[in-house]
Amino acid sequence: MWKWDAQQAPKAVVAIIHGAYEYHYWYMWLIEQLRANGYDVVMGDLPGHGEVKRSEHIHNESFRDYEVFVNQTLKVAMTHDLPVFVIGQGLGATLVMQGIRKKSIECAGIILLSPWLQLDNTPSKLSGALASMSKIVGNMKLTHQLSLSDMTNNEDSYPELQNQPIFSTHITVSWYKELQHLMREMSNDQIKIPNIPTLVMTGGQDRITNTVASRKWVLQQHLSEFHYKEWPNCRHNLHMEEEREEIFHYMNDFMANILRSLGYIIE
């Protein structure tokens, strides 16, 4: 896990949970924007992601390990004695939902980017049937056919990301079954998160997840303050898009307004 200090006196700390098949390097632009605007940042690579993928190319991690990692990240963020915001991307957003619901950790606000609640792009036509037989074929390999163009339509980011040998979308049937279970659990309209200010943002051209499911989720929560924003020209990873500066300002305004409501003076 890594920590980055704000470039000035910090006003809050932001914990970031990245998405499936990613690692922290993809978030360096976002991290630098947060630091420049007065936020300390805490982030690590999900179990089985990052440098591990240089030698292991199949995702077969336990989702329980993901859950433990998210809880540890939030606990580290809490040690800063500052208001805490949590940003989750893709699968990371769904893991944040789960962590906030189960542990009821007190956060100033959560930002969920393109959460995985229903996939439009699935590993294969047979993946659902195979997942139901995971006791027999649990270690069978599937490939989630995602490309960098599914992540973002900002082609300027492709060369740099393609040079990273860590983007692996190979998974096991057991991993996919656990993913399905998590998505069903968090999509259940009986499952509620605590009453925390929440911002959900999606891309109108997202080819990976179903944006309607994300909007439905936030509307069925019992939240006093929530915002849903769809960026019509964006795909899955909003912080990589050409509009990322505007997207960041939207997130920053959300956090600044919450800090004002808590009595913090925001310059």
CA dist list (Å): 258 to 4, 86, 90: 22, 13, 23
Per residue in 97-154, pLDDT (tens digit) is 999 998 766 799 999 999 999 999 998 755 555 556 555 566 888 888 888 889 999 8
∠ CA 92-45-91, rounded to 5° = 15
Q: Give the number of domains in the chain.
A: 1
Residue 267 within a domain: no
Paired tokens of 169: 């979308």
pLDDT of 167 above 80:
no
Residue 203 within a domain: yes
Nearest-angstrom CA–CA distance, 90 and 19: 5
Give me the pLDDT at residue 18, please. 96
pLDDT greater at residue 58 or residue 161: 58
pLDDT of 52 above 60:
no
CATH of the domain at 191: 3.40.50.1820
Of 57-61, 70-74, 196-200, minimum mean pLDDT range: 57-61
Residue 266 within a domain: no
| Percent of all residues in the chain with a pLDDT value above 70, rounded to a whole number | 87
174 CB contacts (<8 Å, ≥6 apart)? 60, 134, 138, 139
Per residue in 60-92, pLDDT (tens digit) is 899 999 999 999 999 999 998 899 999 999 999
Nearest-angstrom CA–CA distance, 234 and 243: 8
Residue 243 within a domain: yes
By residue range, what is the domain housing residue 68? 2-261
